[in-house]
Structures are given as structure tokens and as C-alpha cells.
Structure 1
């Protein structure tokens, strides 16, 4: 009986010790121990993240493949609508967000961002047949869409306030829905980052065209993670991997692959323009 009691106590002690050890690990250590980095994103944000013939594709997929190699982990994707991505990060459903997200002052208060991976300045996508909208100001009084809970939506509303007639702002769960309404003539434009709409127009030049110049403040895309001490070493490691990719030309090559251009981006954004 005494021996069984000692055996039981020893087993309990080992289990308790293992639990404490797991709790002592930070996010990077846990990811490396599991061999998996969980990344949240949406798949309606081409060319960063989208579904191509049933396959998850885009710049983010390629970039995180490289990050996975640098960290020695596999990438596990968790996909959901954009409105649920950042709340999912806060709830601990994944380790970080691929998004990407425009780096804004408000977001920097809540999240830690990686080094920028592309420019995100906002522009207007219009119908290729539209001859009335030749500059951003021409959307005054017209119906224009943007993604729900997005920085692009906020900037569209701010730009609308500067025009003689306010824009009829339409919010969409996904950009794909907004593009569909634009193609069908239910709205006259979609506000999104210049890289996104340039890609869309390039894919369907007979349907869409880009209104230049962009109307928004110059902004940048980065990958957000949590700011707490538990995630500090993980974000450090991801930043190190991205800076290595910037230095050896891998990021430029992926930008050229997905956008047809490369972007000059700062090492960090500490004082966003919005």
C-alpha cells in the first residue's frame, strides 16, 4: 500500500513538473517544441492570401514558408473572415497573424508589428469602362465599397469627409464581394491597398482599372502579433527572419512574383502617418 502511494505521488509530481515546464515556455519555445507555428489569416485578400483552384496561395504563403524554414517549424494556417482575425489573435487561437495589416497608430498600441513587408497606401479600383472617375476626388457622392473593420475603410471615410459630397460608403465582409458588386455595377469603386487592386486589375484588365494616384497617406503592411512578454522572442525571431529575407533578396523576389514591382520599406514603423 505504501509503495503504491509513493508511486502515485511520484507520478503526480512528474505531471505537475511537466505542466510547470510547459507554462514556463514562451510562444517561440512552444512552437519549436510542437514543430508548428499557428498563423491566422483571411483568404480573400489577393495577392497576399487567396484560394486558387482550391489551393491556399499568395505572398503570405510564400513568405511564411521561408519563415518556417528559418525557425525550423511547419506553418499551420487558420483561416477566417478578417473581422475575426485580430480578435482570434487576442483570444490565443493562433500565434500571430499573416493578414497582413496596415500599421496604424491605434494598432501599434495593441499589437507588435513585424518589419513592413509591402506598401499599403490606399487607392480606388473602378470599372474599366468608367470614364467619369479619372481621379480619386471623382468618387464624391458615389457608392464605393471597402472591407469591414479595415484600415482602408477608415481612410475612405476620412477622405469622404474632405469631398464636396460625401461618398456612399458600403462595407463588405470580404473584398471579393466588393469586387463582384463593382463588376456588376452596384458600386462605382472599391477602396483597397494599391498592391491589392493593382493585382486585381492586372488579372482582369477588361473589367477593372486603377484610379491613380492613390488617395491615402503612405502606409505599410506588417504582420501583427501580441505585445506581451510571452510572444516577444517569437516576434524577434520572425523579424530576424524577415530582415534576413530583405537582405538576401528573397522578399524582393516574392514581391516581384506577386505584384510585378518591389517596394522600398523601412526596417520599422514607429510613427505611422495614420
Structure 2
């Protein structure tokens, strides 16, 4: 009799644990409300920013709106200060953060991420007609432009071969102007920002294959909201498989950068 009670008790504990994991109610909460609220910095082109008409646009905006459509919920956007965005999420001011957020070990201590949907990082931009520089290793001895105070300054040190000269600029547009005028061989820049410039000025620049640094982007949720995160992840997986993410990527970056096979 005692053994039976022990077995029953163990099964009950196991059942409760499984139930707690599989039914946290987070997706049901959002579904019942008919909307999912997303926190973001609305000045981060091309991921999420305001256009000339003040409308919220960008790669992340299109992707999230499509996820909402497929889940049958409305997407509400909540602009917030980036330095406090994780605290705001855990204070339940919104349901997730979807705004080109880099997945880091430090952030994983506070939030739970989806799988990476884009691999960001520092890349090398060269002139479109440049035939001398075909890969990162070709930048040996090159004249390199970077934005002062940006992570590109450190990224230069990680190039396969040492640069010949590094020039620091107040902002990326000024560096790219010197690149276009043949006063630089390359500009090291954040991948998302670089591709935004390229998409807006087709035929002027291109990005050398491979990232100098790798910074995966993911959607962040509260750790306890397992159901909601899984619902979004499954929808994103379907969007990658059916080509929707590729279509959105081509709109904002001029090519498909959502395929994990291209991140290596």
C-alpha cells in the first residue's frame, strides 16, 4: 500500500510539473486580449523606425505584424528607452521585445529568447565596382573608415589581416561618402545599418562575404512566458519555411539574410 502511495505521489508531482510548463497561460492571455504589445526603440533603422510621415516601419515591424496576423492577434507597439527595455519587459509593460536585440549570455540571465532570426555584426562595405577586394583577407593594408566610438573601432582589430590606416568619422554617412569618392577602401559598419544604406543607394556599395563579428538577433520574452514564446517561434519557423521572411528581408536589405546557412 505504501509503495502505491509513493508511486501515486510521484506521478502527481510529475503531472503538476508538466502542467506548469505546458500551460503557463501566457499565449491564452494574449489571445484573450486580442493583442500582443511589443517594446522597442523606434529609432533603429532598418529594424524599426519612423518614416517621414511618422509611421512605424522596418524589418522587425513587418515580421511581427505578419506573426500577429497568423496568430489572429493585433500588434501594439510600445516605444521605450533602450537602456531600460528589459526592466520594462519584466515589469510587464509589454509582452516582448522585438527590435534587433542581440542575444547575449548576460541578457539570457534576465529574459528568454527565440532562436536567432537574423545574424548581425560588423561587416566590411566596399564600392560596388571594386574588383580588388573580394574577401575580408583582401583588406590587408587597406584604408579603413569607422564611426568614432562605435564597435567598428574594435572590429577592425579582428580583420584577418592588419589594415594599413584607420580613419575615424563622426558618423557613418561621412565615412561612406569618402568610400564612394575613393578616399577609403572600406568602411566597417554594423550589418543592419550597412545593408540599409545599400538598399537605399543600389549599385553604389556591396558587403564583403562574412561577418567580422557575429551578433545574433532574437525576440525576448519574460522567462515564465513559455507558451507565448513558443507560439511566436513556431510561427517564425513557418515564415522562414514558406519564404515570407525571405520576402521581408529582400524588401529591407535587398537580399535574403534570414537563412541560417548563410551565417557561417
Shift of 1:56: 0.9
Q: State how far apart, in whole Å, the 1-side matches of 2:33 and 2:73 are.
A: 8
Q: State how far apart, in whole Å, the 1-side matches of 2:212 and 2:93 are.
A: 32
In structure 2, what is the equivalent of residue 263 of structure 1?
A: 257
| Secondary structure of the structure 1 residue equivalent to 2:65 | helix
In structure 1, what is the equivalent of residue 226 of structure 2?
A: 232
Q: Which runs of 5+ in 2 are unaligned?
A: 1-22, 179-183
Q: State how far apart, in whole Å, the 1-side matches of 2:168 and 2:92 are.
A: 33
The alignment status of 1:31 with 2:22, answered yes or no, reads no
Shift of 1:235: 0.3
Shift of 1:255: 1.5
For residues 199-214 of structure 1, the aligned pairs below 5 Å read 199-204=196-201, 209=205, 212-214=208-210
CA 1:184–1:263 in structure 2 vs 1: closer, same or farther (change >3 Å)? closer
For residues 43-54 of structure 1, the aligned pairs below 5 Å read 43-54=42-53
Q: State how far apart, in whole Å, the 2-side matches of 1:83 and 1:147 are.
A: 18
CA 1:264–1:80 in structure 2 vs 1: closer, same or farther (change >3 Å)? closer
Q: Which runs of 5+ in 1 are unaligned?
A: 1-23, 171-176
CA 1:126–1:262 in structure 2 vs 1: closer, same or farther (change >3 Å)? closer
Shift of 1:156: 4.7
CA 1:165–1:109 in structure 2 vs 1: closer, same or farther (change >3 Å)? farther
The alignment status of 1:123 with 2:123, answered yes or no, reads yes
Q: How large is the RMSD of aligned CA atoms in angstroms? A: 4.2
In structure 1, what is the equivalent of residue 147 of structure 2?
A: 145
Quick check: 1:143–1:167 contact (8 Å CA) kept in 2? yes
In structure 1, what is the equivalent of residue 238 of structure 2?
A: 244
Q: State how far apart, in whole Å, the 1-side matches of 2:79 and 2:163 are.
A: 40
In structure 1, what is the equivalent of residue 95 of structure 2?
A: 95
| Secondary structure of the structure 2 residue equivalent to 1:115 | coil
Quick check: 1:121–1:218 contact (8 Å CA) kept in 2? yes
| CA offsets 1:18-51 (integer angstroms, 9 cap, x no match) | xxxxxx9743232222212110112333222122
Quick check: 1:140–1:160 contact (8 Å CA) kept in 2? no
Q: State how far apart, in whole Å, the 1-side matches of 2:189 and 2:81 are.
A: 18
| CA offsets 1:32-74 (integer angstroms, 9 cap, x no match) | 2221211011233322212222211112121111111222211
Q: State how far apart, in whole Å, the 2-side matches of 1:249 and 1:205 are.
A: 23
Under a length normalisation based on structure 2, what TM-score does the superposition of the two structures give? 0.66
| Secondary structure of the structure 1 residue equivalent to 2:239 | helix
Under a length normalisation based on structure 1, what TM-score does the superposition of the two structures give? 0.64
In structure 1, what is the equivalent of residue 4 of structure 2?
A: none
In structure 1, what is the equivalent of residue 247 of structure 2?
A: 253
Quick check: 1:139–1:167 contact (8 Å CA) kept in 2? no
Q: State how far apart, in whole Å, the 2-side matches of 1:146 and 1:116 are.
A: 28
